[in-house]
Amino acid sequence: MILIYTQNWDGKFKKLSYELVSYGAAIAKQMNTEVVALSIGNVANNELQSLGKYGASKVVSVNDPNLSVVDNKIYAKTISEAVNKYNAKVILFANNNEGKAIAPRISAKFKAALITGVGKLPKSVEPFVICKKVYTGKASVDVKVNSDIKVLTLFQNSFGVVEAPVDAEIETLELTIDTPTIKVIEQSKSTGKVLLNDAEIVVSGGRGMKSGDNWAGIEQLAEILNGGTACSRPVSDEGWRPHGEHVGQTGKIIAPNVYFALGISGAIQHLGGVSNSKCIVAINTDKEAPIFEAADYGIIGDVHKILPELIEEVKKLKS
Amino acid sequence: MKILVCISVVPDTTTKVKFIDGKEFDKAGVQWIINPWDELALTRALELKEASAGKIEKITVVNVGAVEAEATIRKALAMGADEAIRINTTAKDTFSVAGEISEAIKDQGFDVIFSGIESSDFNGVGVGGMIAEILDIQSVSAVSGIDFADDVFKVKRDIDGGFEMLEVKAPFVATVQKGIAIDPRIPNMRGIMMAKKKPLNVVESANCEPLSEYVQYEMPKPKPPVKLVENAAELVNVLHNEAKML
Ligand SMILES: Cc1cc2nc3c(=O)[nH]c(=O)nc-3n(C[C@H](O)[C@H](O)[C@H](O)COP(=O)(O)OP(=O)(O)OC[C@H]3O[C@@H](n4cnc5c(N)ncnc54)[C@H](O)[C@@H]3O)c2cc1C
């Protein structure tokens, strides 16, 4: 079996859950097996059922007040019960904060190799060989996995959501869940904003934006494109934008469909975080800027002049 | 209290990577550095110790690597770590590294173990979480801030789309990312002198077997040159009609 660790937000599955199920279904086909999706938390039956549309033939739901806090130790124990029960051979997580927190524990529990940040299907399943990026995107490597069980984390937006409808059988798993040993004393969640890792389109600004006060245009463009916002490292170091938006070698690694690099020079450490984007668009006054070597499309010019025009053009297109 | 910081030694971030026959990373001419996140973790660990009025007694760094790594490990000592452990073997995969570290330190009673969220060579993210599982202790990931007061650790972790402030009891592993510290501490002259005398203990490998092997490296295909357009209208036009991305 292929086991998927899904994530939901207030009872609604995140898009990454559908993508993980789609990816899992494709691997299941290669391995001639099926997909079990694990849902943790309070998720309604029809929402659980929705995973069938992407190929989950079984959806297992665990709900317990002790799971309201993501205690990595307890989550790993919970997931491992499902691994045992369904005899899972491949366990899939999203390559986001939560996935990266729990996947290593599952890997160690089962002596199962952990391959993080995959984006494509295995090249073969017997032996199990899969490609991943290394050296922050500067190269890729084929990894041969020698353990019976494999744990993979998938880059969001790399595989896509693919429909492969089956009837999902819903099952509730009754487990005794320990009391968390960590205590949440404060939580802050941004609502209504597209999360950077989820975003299919990302509008990002660098030092060429000149000041944090100039971000209204970036936010506006992101909003009309239903995208997320990002920035280069100096921008977050200066406090123009929050650290969570910093992309690159020492920030987030993202793979949107379109990455707009506005006033970003394209340093090698920056490109490490964005080079998996399907299409890179650069606007920069300096025609020698390295970003133009990484970009698919570009304009040589002043972002302060071009951004407002770009917003108007996109508005026209969308209306 | 004792803090352990896991240090991986990686190529300088500006390195143009090359491979020998696609099989092996070409080390020729490469400058080695402390993995940037590990350096930030160590920086914060040192700050915590200094602010703890003696409660945090010792900061130890640990590396799994061959003797060549020692110059970089000394840099961690020069930054202010009290002692270092080098486990004498080359890193094979995340699982074997985590196994080696767990085996070497399991009886040493570390209260907090820091590891970087990712190492910038193989981009594995697992070392911290795996150590926690092997030692059967708590772990907190994506940690972007940590404070120690009244014997509890207050930990800020990034969740997808926000953050949480947590109270965590030792022992635990913190997998840290940016924000934990902004700039790494730069060793001063005195630190560099003192580092030479600090203990760097070499421990033999426990022969933890890797679970995966890297069989073939590949460089990305050269991409077609950028297509330059004159203005915003043309840009939207090509993105919509040619790239079909908007
Ligand atoms: C260990 C290490 C790790 C690092 N990690 C990261 C990382 O994760 N992410 C990251 O981003 N950086 C990282 N860096 C920093 C990186 O080397 C660069 O310094 C940084 O990416 C540059 O940011 P920038 O492009 O915003 O600024 P700059 O390099 O200053 O570029 C600004 C660009 O804006 C252009 N510009 C100026 N005015 C205008 C205008 N009016 N209109 C249009 N264009 C204009 C300029 O031509 C220039 O190309 C790291 C560095 C180190 C040493």
* Token pair belonging to A135: 């050296």
The minimum CA-CA distance between B197 and chain A, rounded to whole Å, is 32
Q: What is each CA distance from A131 to A53, A123, B170, in whole angstroms?
A: 27, 7, 37
Q: Please tell me if residue A181 touches chain B, with a CB cutoff of 8 Å.
A: yes
Q: Are A225 and B162 an interchain contact pair (Cβ–Cβ within 8 Å)? A: no
Q: How far is the CA of A270 from the centre of ligand 1 (A)?
A: 7
- Specify if B172 maps to a domain: yes
Q: Are A275 and B220 an interchain contact pair (Cβ–Cβ within 8 Å)? A: yes
| Res A65: pLDDT | 96
Name the phi and psi angles at A269, rounded to 5.
Answer: -70, -30
- Specify if B232 maps to a domain: no
The 8-class DSSP code of residue B90 comes to -
| Res B131: pLDDT | 98
| Res B117: pLDDT | 84
For residue range A87-104, what is the model confidence (pLDDT) as tens digits? Answer: 999 999 999 999 999 999
**CB B36 near ligand 1, within 6 Å:** yes
Please name which of A300, A273, A135, A139 lies closest in space to residue A202, comparing C-alpha atoms: A273
For residue B127, what is the enclosing H or E element?
helix B127-135
Please state the CATH superfamily assignment of the domain spanning residues A2-172 in this structure. HUPs (3.40.50.620)
Please name which of B240, B27, B235 lies closest in space to residue A282, comparing C-alpha atoms: B235
Tell me the C-alpha distance between A231 and A203, whole Å: 8
Ligand 1, from A250, A268, A292, A299: best to mutate by most atoms within 8 Å of Cβ?
A250
**CB A284 near ligand 1, within 6 Å:** yes
Task: Give mean pLDDT, residues A49-71.
Answer: 97
**Please, what is the average pLDDT of chain A?**
95
A87 contacts A65 by C-beta, under 8 angstroms: no
Q: Please tell me if residue B116 touches chain A, with a CB cutoff of 8 Å.
A: no
Bridging pattern class, strands B138-149 and B172-176? parallel
Please name which of B126, B68, B72 lies closest in space to residue B97, comparing C-alpha atoms: B126
Looking at this protein, which amino acid is placed at residue B223? K
**CB A232 near ligand 1, within 6 Å:** yes
Tell me the C-alpha distance between A213 and A209, whole Å: 9
- Strand, helix or coil at B165? strand
Number of domains in chain B: 1
Residues 6+ apart with CB under 8 A from A6: A13, A14, A17, A20, A21, A37, A38, A39, A40, A51
Bridging pattern class, strands A258-262 and A279-284? parallel
- Specify if B166 maps to a domain: yes
For residue range A201-246, what is the model confidence (pLDDT) as tens digits? Answer: 999 999 999 999 999 999 999 999 999 999 999 999 999 998 889 9
| Res B198: pLDDT | 98
Strands, E assignment, A21-74: 35-40, 58-62
Pick from B129, B179, B240: which is nearest to A243 by CB? B179
| Res B123: pLDDT | 65
Tell me the C-alpha distance between B99 and B20, whole Å: 28
Within this chain, domains A2-172 and A201-318 share the same CATH topology: yes
Tell me the C-alpha distance between A92 and A6, whole Å: 9
Q: Looking at the domain that runs over A201-318, which CATH code has it been given?
A: 3.40.50.1220
- Strand, helix or coil at A91? strand
- Specify if B44 maps to a domain: yes
Which residues from B are below 8 Å from A301, CB to CB?
231
* Token pair belonging to A67: 């799971």
Q: Please tell me if residue B166 touches chain A, with a CB cutoff of 8 Å.
A: yes
Q: Please tell me if residue A269 touches chain B, with a CB cutoff of 8 Å.
A: yes
For residue range B206-222, what is the model confidence (pLDDT) as tens digits? Answer: 999 999 999 999 998 88
Tell me the C-alpha distance between A304 and A263, whole Å: 9
Q: What is the CATH number of the domain that holds B163?
A: 3.40.50.620
- Specify if B240 maps to a domain: no
Which residues from A are below 8 Å from B37, CB to CB?
250
* Token pair belonging to B24: 């092996």
* Token pair belonging to A307: 């951004």
Task: Give mean pLDDT, residues A62-77.
Answer: 97
Q: Are A258 and B215 an interchain contact pair (Cβ–Cβ within 8 Å)? A: no
Every domain of chain A and the residues it spans: 2-172, 201-318
- Could you tell me the sign of the dihedral formed by the alpha carbons of B35, B48, B125, B63, in that order? positive
- Specify if B144 maps to a domain: yes
- Specify if B88 maps to a domain: yes
**Residue ranges in chain B modelled with pLDDT below 50:** none
Answer yes or no: is pLDDT of A299 > 70.
Answer: yes
Give the residue from chain A lying closest to B132, CA to CA. A105
Please name which of B155, B111, B123, B104 lies closest in space to residue B35, comparing C-alpha atoms: B123
- Whether cis (ω within 30° of 0) applies to the bond prior to B171 is yes
The atom number, within ligand 1, closest to the CA of A235 reads 26
Taking CA A29 as the corner, what is the angle to CA A24 and CA A34, rounded to the nearest 5 degrees? 65
| Res B124: pLDDT | 67
Which residues from B are below 8 Å from A143, CB to CB?
212-215
Tell me the C-alpha distance between B182 and B158, whole Å: 16
Which residues from A are below 8 Å from B6, CB to CB?
none
Pick from A138, A140, A309: which is nearest to B231 by CB? A309
| Res B74: pLDDT | 97
B127 contacts B114 by C-beta, under 8 angstroms: no
Residue B19's domain comprises 2-217
